[in-house]
Structure 1
């Protein structure tokens, strides 16, 4: 994160900054404060609380205790809001002191949003007030252009004011629409430049990094709210004119653009743009050659007579192109054949490239959205700002469920079910997944009283079961009006598979005819959405993952050994991960209980296909002798096994592999869920090394139900916290716990963890080796932990308390370890015992009944004390003393 490294602030810098702010009147300072309000909230939520409060207190004395307690009681968001409001209410000196505090804090806390705000305040100081007014009021317009602009706003409002929420067939025959302001939930957009390599399926990859980014990189996560997209970019040191927003399918790119356009049309956002033109690439696919004027007039015919005058001020124009990944033509943003004439007929590629390159309407702004995978083949350096939609934060996930279900109790029940199911919850950062999950669970919980009740009430446990349930809901509804056309499902399945292999999301009428898809079938609208107007109509699946599910299902509907084997080999060979979800679905359908969900509507699915897939999985499982194991490929196979729910297959194929080493390999929460299933199926695992895997809270939550089955568990260096010890307690106190060796070395545990650890050790019957090194355990509660470790009934044989922040006063209590007659190894090195602790440690070495080895190095002993400690070995040669 070098671009976010803070500068070293000198006294001269601070004086210059203070003098610059002093020039502004109170009204101007108030305008700036309001303008940066959302940024300041996020900065205060992200920065170290004590650091900001100390800086503020240094300039304007405040109650540190009050605000620290406020954050602890009410959370970071309420704390930030209250602090900002209090500063604003306290007057000019407090506001100036606040800005100075932020300016100084960039030394030690170079948060990108903090640097961006300070940069914008300093670099654009002379014009910032004018820019704020321009964004609020817009540029001056001639009366007739103002009238034209009003008509344009009304048109965009009409098109974008409602969010359409699809409902499951059987719940209601009509989609429901809501005002976008009432139903829109914040999507997290962050600065990103991660498009060069995509070795994983984008949904899995983004789902994996989602919690990783939110938890580990909070201090370096540059959040880009919609009103920041075209504001000063700290990374590029400019106000961007070309902006790229990427995001996986269904994460909300189009919804974000819809809200952006709606807010502009309502006068709430970026009024610097006199006209916004919103296009979707999928609607431009059938355009061979056209001019920019024709492109605009096709979409907005009422602008025809005014376009020439509108083009006179290109700096007041914004072009939005949504869905680059849905463009059937290659978009080369670095091409040399560019256009400068709005009337010249060109390909869509040339027009878009010319706008981005500023040869066409120089000074205009361009905003493009795309899936990440499409961007690996696009020159993204032409964009001034690149951002990525990360989807929902956990709070927004829960809000979505509350919005979907009118019944609060049912919403809570559904969310709780998903929260407890790692397979489903991990994908809930994607709004469209939330919709599919809610759709299925609403049918399950309502338990409609018809002959298909047993199917409807089936609660999905895997992603395959989720989509099988979703499809069964659709088919159940259509069964009421007649029989299901199995041939239609087969035709659409083969088209889906072709699209997955070719990265095609949008299909033409010719594509449907090629695969014999009957567009007159009553099932069409349940799977495909139409875009454009006749004769230029295109079709796409409701969601890419539905397309991937149908691509897998067709092999069970129309089994061919040759086609299935080719599909499996192709999916496995794709280096960009495009086949991963397909493989998980085809593996999941090998489970008979999953296939039974669809049996009432399509009959028996191929058992031969199931056997074929199981054989494929068996051959894919790496053996213990495999050299240079690719952990990602191993986890992909494990994920397929988890989807298959085939514990017997896992046990027979992996059971002989008793060591799982994932050290220093990032494990996402979904990976942990998959590993939990593998461990549960094997039951005889000897070693599980999760050191430096960054599993953290959610990862531990996902894997904890199966950790008790392992003999040796290593959770070293995972940034676990005191709040995670409740999970560790449940693991160690499980009635069938097999753990003999447990490492929690180098985590974030403090004395608050000591009591629950003590209770767990006291109840546990298997533990023999415990490493608690490099945790800050010193404190009053440490004595309770020590008491349990010193109990005559304690079975711990090897104990490591290296670098636990222990001081001389603990040495006397360490003598109580004499009561543990099982202890043979003790590591208490790298503490702070000093010479004062020597008498107690000497006595421990000389009197402990079973001790064989003790490590004491790096404890601030004098040379003489170290010499005396080593000489103790002569008096008791059976104890090895290491310094």
Structure 2
């Protein structure tokens, strides 16, 4: 059995060392030690001023509350698993399984309810998603499912799009979605609440999804720093649909901090009808040119790009690393001048191009005809010539 628990390593100067193969064993032993230390010394193991504890006999509830606080203070979550084990040790059902390890039985149901309420109070504060999710695992250890069951009722009724949730309920919703047995292929914001706040609250769920449908939700630039952090992290996200919102140039600039990150693996980006102008287009093109190898579909339709914006977007098509296959630019107010810029820059893998609902005249038709003759890849062209 020990060969499955310990791993032996031999160092040059330190000699033979042993470490745990699975760190959960270490965390369990640490929790057991904290439990026994309290029984023997009537004090808990966390460092505190000695005069503060000198004449004070600590109780189990003191230890549990302090452990919760310490875990919440941690930036990297190094006490999360320890806390779950420590809480689990207080349950009578687990104590029966650990007879011989625990010399004293902890049977105070009132104290159990007290720590449950203490954790729920913490969930009402503005915790990070990681810390709040761990607290729900802690409630699981204590066999309390009330918050989760409440959210599951909302989900079954489909009432979350109109519900005003408390911080604890938002955290419960994230926990339920992340711990679902089904892999989350698609996240649709309209099923919940159409707001920047809802998007930010549910960011951990978006991070684990492959497709994020955030269209028609009245989103502004307030959402963009959070989304940029997701795009620049290790995420499953491949498709981001933000059509028909109000990001404007300020939002696009914030979003681009994630798009230009080398970790960004986004393949489809839809920004239709977001009040983007030449300024936002310039930043977007720069970001995509710096990280061009993954994006295959881009939709900038119904924005105020004009011919200057078209010239900027054309620089993407000149980039030999650009993998764009579908580009939608309908109703962006380009004329023959924009078509000339597009045709002169066109050297790409583009298979589908949408230029419909623009002001393209005879000169533009000539430029597009030249583009069709010279392109080896273009298969679909949508346009309306005036």
Tell me by how many angstroms 1:769 deviates. 0.3
Against the structure 1 CA distance between its residues 733 and 758, is the aligned structure 2 distance closer, same or farther, given a 3 Å change threshold?
same
Q: 1:816 to 1:629 in 2, by over 3 A?
A: farther
Give matches, 1:576-725, under 5 Å. Answer: 585=124, 610-614=141-145, 617=148, 620-621=151-152, 629-632=158-161, 636=165, 640=169, 642=171, 650-653=177-180, 656-663=183-190, 667-680=194-207, 682=208, 685-707=209-231, 709=235, 710-725=237-252
Contact kept in structure 1, 2:306 and 2:333, CA below 8 Å: yes
The CA deviation at 1:804 is: 0.8
Q: CA contact under 8 A between 1:713 and 1:739: conserved in structure 2?
A: yes
Equivalent in the alignment of 2:333: 805
Query: Taking structure 1 as reference, are residues 696 and 582 closer, same or farther at Cα in structure 2, changes over 3 Å only?
Result: same
In structure 2, C-alpha distance between the alignment counterparts of 1:622 and 1:761, rounded to whole Å: 42
- The answer as to whether partners of 2:243 and 2:272 remain within 8 angstroms in 1 is yes
Q: 2:302 aligns with which of 761, 769, 774?
A: 774
SS at match of 1:734: coil
Would the alpha carbon gap of residues 655 and 732 (structure 1) be closer, same or farther in structure 2, given more than 3 Å must change?
Answer: farther
Determine which structure has more spread, i.e. the larger CA radius of gyration: 1
Structure-1 residue corresponding to 2:347: 819
Contact in 2 for aligned 1:638/1:675 (Cα 8 Å):
no
Aligned to 2:359: 832
Matches within 5 A, 1:441-590: 556-557=113-114, 585=124
CA contact (8 A) 2:301 2:332 kept: yes
> Partner of 2:315 in structure 1?
787
Compared CA separation, residues 714 and 459, structure 1 to 2 (3 A)? same
2:151 and 2:169 in contact (8 A); partners too: no
Q: 1:703 to 1:817 in 2, by over 3 A?
A: same
**Superposition deviation, residue 762 in structure 1:** 1.2
The change in CA–CA distance for 1:594 and 1:554 in structure 2 (over 3 A counts) is: farther
- Tell me, in whole angstroms, the C-alpha distance in 2 between the residues paired with 1:633 and 1:667: 9
Kept in 2, the 8 Å contact 1:639–1:674? The answer is no
> Which residue of the partner structure matches residue 269 of structure 1?
none
Counterpart position of 1:856: 383
1:771 shift after superposition? 0.1
The size of the alignment, in residue pairs, is: 282
Shift of 1:852: 1.1
1:713 & 1:688 partners in 2: Cα distance? Answer: 5
> Which structure 2 segments of 5+ residues have no match?
1-47, 53-65, 76-109
- Distance in 1, Cα, partners of 2:374 & 2:257: 35
Say which of 248, 267, 272 aligns to 1:745: 272
SS in 1 for 2:212: strand
Asked if structure 1 preserves the Cα contact closer than 8 Å seen for 2:151 and 2:172, the reply is no
The gaps in structure 1 that reach 5 residues or longer are: 1-448, 462-552, 565-580, 597-605, 861-883
User: How far apart are 1:729 and its partner, in Å?
Assistant: 0.9
Aligned residue for 2:275, secondary structure, equals: coil
Cα distance per residue 1:227-246 (max 9 Å; x no partner): xxxxxxxxxxxxxxxxxxxx
What do the CA deviations read for 1:478-511 (whole angstroms, capped 9, x no partner)? xxxxxxxxxxxxxxxxxxxxxxxxxxxxxxxxxx
Q: CA deviation at 1:585?
A: 3.6
Q: Return the alpha-carbon distance in structure 2 between the equivalents of residues 748 and 671 of structure 1.
A: 22
- Identify if the C-alpha distance between structure 1 residues 645 and 780 changes in structure 2 by more than 3 Å, giving closer, same or farther: closer
TM-score normalised by the chain length of structure 1: 0.28
**CA shift in 2, pair 1:617/1:842, >3 Å:** same
Residue 799 and residue 457 in structure 1: after superposition, are their counterparts in 2 closer, same or farther (change >3 A)? same
- Decide whether aligned partners of structure 1 residues 753 and 457 sit closer, same or farther in structure 2, where only a CA change above 3 A counts: same
Assess, with a 3 A threshold, how the Cα gap between structure 1 residues 760 and 832 changes in structure 2: closer, same or farther.
Answer: same
Identify if the C-alpha distance between structure 1 residues 799 and 584 changes in structure 2 by more than 3 Å, giving closer, same or farther: same
The superposition leaves residues 670-709 of structure 1 with CA deviations (integer Å, 9 ceiling, x where unpaired) of 21221212233x3xx1221111111101122334322453
Q: Of residues 821, 836, 843 in structure 1, which corresponds to 2:370? A: 843
Once the 2 structures are TM-superposed, how far is the Cα of residue 854 of structure 1 from its aligned partner? 0.8
Distance change >3 Å, CA 769–CA 778, structure 1 → 2: same
1:775-823 superposed Cα distances (whole Å, 9 cap, x missing partner): 1112435423211223232100000011111011122222135410x11
Indicate how the Cα distance of structure 1 residues 618 and 848 shifts in structure 2: closer, same or farther if over 3 A, else same: farther
RMSD value over aligned CA atoms?
Answer: 4.4
